[in-house]
Every structure is written in structure tokens, then in C-alpha cells.
């Protein structure tokens, strides 16, 4: 198929005893080459578009030293989410009471329902989600919970430092929950 | 009745033109593909529904690896030079400015920066390096880094990016955020892998209704 015609033009007359080389076409079948070309094109198209990382924007609240300068939130509209070890999530509404009776446990698949429930019960302007990550939680947990805010279209949320009491409570709750599963 | 004879045409098609087009496209894609540079720091990023593509110019990238070690990457050579000089002036580190400009990332305390830059590039691997110390709140060196870089970017916009590993613990992340806050950099972006919006969720309904997301 892909052979070059080596006979020299054909115009030249050769002697009587010399065999004439068969005249072959100089055309090469390009189909396999085109196939290969398109194969590579598809490969490069896929590799270029697939590895485009996206960016999740986060605005940090400004640290206010004086309590008067801090943002006020209505107690009834606040839900606090605490991130614990091994992808656990805890939450409470309003303020944490002394006996921690409103401290509930959940996980990443269940938290959406909790948030939607809270959202449906609270007027939009009052709803504030406070996110507190304990030192046992991972970066993935934080990104996931921020993502949850976007997914559930919660406009007002803040990443806040955890208090020592809450940290302790999360630790105990994780320890208690662990044998159950 | 004489029928007009159609000239018999060959079924062979000349492939040359198609071949030309194919290879033209091929060379275009080869040239535009940016292969990810071999990463010295192994990081698996979490995924999010964010649809905004991460910026790739004037980037200041903070990387947190799975052990919570912090590394810093910059892409602008001019800025790197300014940063190197100002570090040398203020702390007398004796850093080789050229080596600093060539380095892909920085991951050593200030005291060890000069020797860090003497390690050959291919031997700088994330898991062998100490990282920038951030954990100690009295000596959060990222603070200084960000301040110096911010000064170098004076008047220009810099894109502060954070790339964390799935498994890194929150304290490292918090230390980085604290360093941002100290320098009044309230806005930053976190690098994630794209993920589709869960069907039936609030955001999904909004998108279906044709509303644009504000990000």
C-alpha cells in the first residue's frame, strides 16, 4: 500500500533486456494517519478540560475586640454547627444551655435536613449559621460544611472559633457515639 | 435511446486535506495543554459545588499537606524578587535572590530558608521539609510572609489561594486563617475539585430557575 514509486519518471527508455519496474502510485493511504490524529486530538481535548480546579470563595469576619462592635444575631435565628472527629457534626439552636440538653448529634448526610428544617422555621433575615470546627475535624469537613451553605442557599454564615466548653462537649459526645457504630 | 453516461468516479477520497486539519488541531491542543507540573507536595483537595475557575495569575498559594505542614507558592517573578530582598533587609537572612526566584515553593522556617534554597529543586519534597511554622501563635511565620508579600503587591491585586489536603486537621487551617486576618486579608479562595450540585437541593432549584449564583 504505502510504497514509493522508485521508477525514475518512466520517460527513460531502458535496454531490451532490462525489466521494466512496475509503475506504482505515489499515493499513500492516509486513513490510518487521520485515525491516529483524531485519537490524539480526543486525548488532548479531554486532558485539557478535566483538570481545571475551581475555587470556593470565603469571606472572613473581621475580628472585633469590643463586644459592642460584634455582629448581633437574634438568638432564635441562630443555629450553631460543631464539627467533630471522624466526620461527625453536632448542632444546637440558640444558646447552649447549661445542661447541654439542646446539643444534638448528626452527620454530614443528615445535616442538610436539619438546616432546611431550621431555614423553613426562621425568617430569612434572622437566620445565621455559626460554624465551629473543633481541632479534631479535618479541612475536608470545613470545606464540606461551607459547601453545604452554598447548596442550601444560606446567605449568612460565619466561621467562628470554638470555645473550650464546646470543644470538651464535642470530644465527649464523639467518645460516647463511637461504640454505637 | 442514448442514455447520458455518467463518468465513473473512484470511491477513494483524498485524505490529505483531512489529515492536515487533524494534525493542525492536534498541534493546537498539544501546545495549549498545560501539564500539571510534578507536584512536590502531594495534596488531595476536597470537592465543592463552586463553579468559579481558580485564577492562575498573580497567585499566592498556601498549601496545607496532610500532616498540617504549610507551604507557600508564588508565581510572579518580580514579586518574588521584591519579597526576597525585603526578607534579606529586614531579617538579614542572607537568602540567594536568584535561587529564591527559581524556587517553586517555600517550606522552611526563616532561620532555615537559606539552606532550604541550597537543596536542589528535585530533592525538595514536601514530606521531608519542615514547612513554614504556623502552629505556635506567638511565632506564626506565615504572618510575616503574608505581610511582606502584601507589601510587594502594593496597589496590585493578588489572588490569595488556599489549597488544603482532605486529611489535614483544622488547627493548621485555623493558623493560616489567623495569619490572613492579622494582615486584613479577609477574602481568599479555596481550591477544590468541581462537583455537581445535588439534585433537589435548594441551589439546584435556583439553578434550574435560571438564577445566577453570586459567588
At B142-178, the pLDDT tens digits run 788 888 888 888 877 888 888 888 888 888 888 888 8
Is residue A78 within 8 A of residue A91, CB to CB? The reply is no
Chain-chain contact of B191 with A31 (C-beta, under 8 angstroms):
no
pLDDT digits (tens, 9 = 90+) for B78-94: 888 888 888 888 777 77
- Distance, in Å, from the CA atom of B140 to the CA atom of B180, rounded to the nearest integer, reads 11
Chain-chain contact of B19 with A140 (C-beta, under 8 angstroms):
no
A179 vs chain B: nearest CA distance in angstroms?
Answer: 23
CB burial of residue A73 (10 Å; 0-12, 13-18, 19+)? middle
Residue A166 confidence (pLDDT) above 70: yes
**What is the rounded (10 degree) CA torsion for A112, A115, A118, A124?**
-120
Residue A54 has its nearest CB partner, among B174, B186, B194, at B194
Chain-chain contact of B33 with A47 (C-beta, under 8 angstroms):
yes
First-last CA distance in chain B: 77
Contacts B206 to A, Cβ<8 Å: 153
Chain-chain contact of B198 with A151 (C-beta, under 8 angstroms):
yes
- Distance, in Å, from the CA atom of A80 to the CA atom of A180, rounded to the nearest integer, reads 24
Residue A13 confidence (pLDDT) above 80: no
pLDDT digits (tens, 9 = 90+) for A135-157: 888 888 888 888 888 888 887 88
Rounded to 5 degrees, what angle do the CA atoms A178, A180, A181 make?
75
Q: Does B105 touch chain A (CB under 8 A)?
A: no
A138 vs chain B: nearest CA distance in angstroms?
Answer: 4
Q: Would you tell me how many other CB atoms lie within 10 Å of the CB of residue B57?
A: 9
CB burial of residue A128 (10 Å; 0-12, 13-18, 19+)? buried
Amino acid at each position: 500500500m504505502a510504497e514509493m514509486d522508485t521508477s525514475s519518471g518512466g520517460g527513460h527508455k531502458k535496454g531490451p533486456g532490462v525489466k521494466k519496474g512496475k509503475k506504482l502510485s505515489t499515493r499513500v493511504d492516509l486513513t490510518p494517519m487521520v485515525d491516529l490524529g483524531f485519537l490524539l486530538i480526543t486525548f488532548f481535548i479531554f486532558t485539557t478540560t478535566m483538570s481545571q480546579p475551581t475555587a470556593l470563595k470565603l469571606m472572613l469576619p473581621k475580628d472585633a475586640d469590643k463586644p459592642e462592635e460584634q455582629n448581633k444575631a437574634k438568638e432564635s435565628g441562630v443555629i450553631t454547627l460543631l464539627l467533630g472527629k471522624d466526620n461527625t457534626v453536632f448542632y444546637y439552636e440558640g444558646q447552649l444551655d447549661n445542661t447541654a440538653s439542646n446539643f444534638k448529634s448528626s452527620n454530614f448526610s443528615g445535616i442538610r435536613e436539619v438546616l432546611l428544617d431550621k431555614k423553613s422555621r426562621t425568617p430569612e433575615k434572622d437566620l445565621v449559621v455559626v460554624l465551629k470546627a473543633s481541632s479534631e475535624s479535618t479541612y475536608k469537613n470545613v470545606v464540606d460544611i461551607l459547601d453545604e451553605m452554598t447548596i442550601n442557599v444560606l446567605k449568612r454564615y460565619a466561621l467562628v472559633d470554638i470555645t473550650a466548653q464546646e470543644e470538651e462537649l464535642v470530644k465527649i459526645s464523639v467518645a460516647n457515639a463511637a461504640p454505637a457504630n | 435511446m442514448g442514455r447520458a453516461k455518467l463518468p465513473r468516479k473512484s470511491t477513494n477520497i483524498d485524505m490529505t486535506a483531512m489529515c492536515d486539519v487533524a494534525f493542525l488541531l492536534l498541534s493546537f491542543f498539544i501546545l495549549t495543554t498545560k501539564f500539571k507540573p510534578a507536584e512536590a507536595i502531594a495534596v488531595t483537595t476536597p470537592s465543592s459545588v463552586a463553579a468559579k475557575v481558580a485564577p492562575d495569575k498573580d497567585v499566592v498559594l498556601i498549601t496545607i499537606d496532610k500532616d498540617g505542614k504549610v507551604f507557600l507558592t508564588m508565581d510572579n517573578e518580580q514579586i518574588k524578587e521584591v519579597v526576597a530582598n525585603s526578607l534579606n533587609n529586614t531579617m538579614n537572612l542572607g537568602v540567594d535572590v536568584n535561587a529564591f526566584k527559581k524556587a517553586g515553593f517555600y517550606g522552611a522556617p526563616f532561620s532555615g530558608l537559606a539552606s532550604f534554597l541550597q537543596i536542589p529543586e528535585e530533592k525538595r519534597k514536601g514530606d521531608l521539609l519542615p514547612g513554614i511554622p504556623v502552629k505556635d501563635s506567638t511565632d506564626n511565620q506565615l504572618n510575616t510572609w503574608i505581610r511582606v508579600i502584601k507589601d510587594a503587591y502594593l496597589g496590585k491585586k493578588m489572588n490569595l489561594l488556599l489549597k488544603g489536603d482532605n486529611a489535614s486537621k483544622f488547627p493548621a487551617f485555623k493558623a493560616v486563617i489567623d495569619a490572613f486576618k492579622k494582615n486584613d486579608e479577609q477574602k481568599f479562595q479555596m481550591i477544590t475539585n468541581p462537583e455537581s450540585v445535588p439534585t433537589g437541593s435548594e441551589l439546584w432549584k435556583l439553578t434550574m430557575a435560571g438564577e445566577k449564583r453570586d459567588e
